[in-house]
Structure 1
């Protein structure tokens, strides 16, 4: 059976490096499920694979759309599955990598046949947001589904609106809805997770942010200032620098906010992955060696 190896884990944990090593071992391409690396204007702030890394292995779904182009998780699932089926005609093993948890789930398990948005619910929630702010939506979701509230990106109003709407429509928690039966895939999935000691992970996050600044993140964000209201730009590394560029804060404060919010995002990722039961965890420094052993035990490669 064809095999999709999915490399997951928190931001700055070394997913790209392991994905490249495995892609070279199997002579196969890499598919990204990082929902922010999709945008061609955002390579620095999303830590997209460099040109050198993309020369080592062919990458798909990296920089393939612009920030103004609408692109949903449903569209990604469709596009990714079509590409996977196409690539399986040439390769028996493929590598998927990224830290966008729902996008990985869409590929390996499929989206749920959930109801469409309810116009009345959306109207009520938008009014609440406009009147009382994002915190009101965050508090409401927490009261309805504290488990999902601890995992979701609380700065993403679209996710909050969708979850609350579905809870109201179905009378079930969003967490329980996510556990419902999904369509079966006709390929095997092996999930390998990157596991780092918390302090080391936070140190790597701080180093990565400093490196991004040195690589020109500020210029990248400045070029995107006219698009700052777009959902694609509601992203750590961008939303913190917009106030600096508008003269509302200092660069030092903005950079510290990026580091703080990236640590928070990594914590949410870890909380999400702790609820998963089919992840094979590997730990540096022998990450590739350990991953190889896992794959050998599963008779892959």
Structure 2
């Protein structure tokens, strides 16, 4: 049998983790996380890491592998994940990858272009401008200075906009010039599984998960990483809203409502990203037996 990576992707709170553990158990193999935040040891509640039981059930890679003091990006992830897969393939024909960070999955499956180095001062300046003037400032800057990129960009995603401006300020060139779109060949097969429950059920899962995070101590977790608030991993849903609460701008109830709203919006963006890739076969995440049977059929 050809070496194969089964990729399980989909929006947040769709049931990817539970399915990936069952899939890995079925093939007696390991899971490689494709989540850009679960690799950081200091943040567990707001990143919805696999539970202690799930981590014990099968080996996991790229969970608690880094400190928030380090910066991990898609280029670093590509190299790491290929190493993890090679390690798993020494003992097994199949590896499972699970996550919702589309850029990381694309980097692993297709390769990613080397981005130019960015001086730290550039990012700090842009983050300050974003904090002061909001997302509309980022949108306006890119619309004026890089209309080609802006036409196809995720214009509601501040991280993407800041990244594009960083490259523009550092090199004078559009981020699109560094995307050669040449796919790196992989010497293993990839099976892509997309999962999402019906929209109203996904929204219920999201709301339940946010309430659970608050009860589990999300506010204390966010407080503990305040010194690193400029880190990309913390400029995300669940952390930004609690920072606003801790800064005294909004109440805790408002922060919780905002996290739910922003998580629903994020889930929608994730679905849009993954649905652009025709290689994904889509299922309701609760159809575990059907999904595993489908994969086994693909492998035989």
Q: TM-score, normalised by structure 1?
A: 0.86
The two structures, once aligned, show a CA RMSD in angstroms of: 3.0
Please say if residues 29 and 94 of structure 1, whose CA atoms lie closer than 8 Å, have aligned partners that are also in contact: yes
Alignment correspondent of 2:201: 200
224-233 vs 133-142, greater mean Cα deviation: 133-142
Please say if residues 151 and 269 of structure 1, whose CA atoms lie closer than 8 Å, have aligned partners that are also in contact: no
Alignment correspondent of 1:293: 293
Give the distance between the partners of 2:205 and 2:246, measured in 1 at CA: 26
Deviation track 1:235-282 (CA, whole Å, cap 9, x = no partner) reads: 211110012123322110010111111111111111111211100111
Deviation track 1:14-69 (CA, whole Å, cap 9, x = no partner) reads: 00011011000001011101010011111110000111110111111001111111
Alignment correspondent of 1:35: 36
Give the 3 Å change call, closer, same or farther, for CA 187–210 of structure 1 in structure 2.
same
**In the alignment, structure 1 residue 69 sits paired with structure 2 residue 92:** no
Equivalent residues in 2 for 1:77-226 (5 A)? 77-113=78-114, 133-141=134-142, 143-146=147-150, 148-150=152-154, 153-161=157-165, 169=173, 180-226=181-227
Give the 3 Å change call, closer, same or farther, for CA 152–164 of structure 1 in structure 2.
farther
Alignment correspondent of 2:268: 267
Name the SS of the counterpart of 2:97 in structure 1.
strand
Give the 3 Å change call, closer, same or farther, for CA 123–260 of structure 1 in structure 2.
closer
Structure 1 residue 134, shift from structure 2 partner: 3.9
Please say if residues 195 and 282 of structure 2, whose CA atoms lie closer than 8 Å, have aligned partners that are also in contact: yes
Give the 3 Å change call, closer, same or farther, for CA 200–90 of structure 1 in structure 2.
same
Please say if residues 36 and 232 of structure 1, whose CA atoms lie closer than 8 Å, have aligned partners that are also in contact: yes
Give the distance between the partners of 2:267 and 2:261, measured in 1 at CA: 10
Structure 1 residue 199, shift from structure 2 partner: 1.8
Give the 3 Å change call, closer, same or farther, for CA 219–118 of structure 1 in structure 2.
closer
Please say if residues 6 and 191 of structure 1, whose CA atoms lie closer than 8 Å, have aligned partners that are also in contact: yes
Structure 1, unpaired ranges of 5+: none
Alignment correspondent of 2:7: 6
Structure 1 residue 13, shift from structure 2 partner: 0.4
Alignment correspondent of 2:58: 57
Give the distance between the partners of 1:130 and 1:243, measured in 2 at CA: 11
242-251 vs 83-92, greater mean Cα deviation: 242-251
Structure 1 residue 227, shift from structure 2 partner: 2.1
Name the SS of the counterpart of 1:159 in structure 2.
helix
Name the SS of the counterpart of 2:243 in structure 1.
helix
Name the SS of the counterpart of 2:240 in structure 1.
coil
Give the 3 Å change call, closer, same or farther, for CA 252–219 of structure 1 in structure 2.
same
Structure 1 residue 293, shift from structure 2 partner: 2.7
81-90 vs 91-100, greater mean Cα deviation: 81-90
Give the 3 Å change call, closer, same or farther, for CA 148–43 of structure 1 in structure 2.
farther
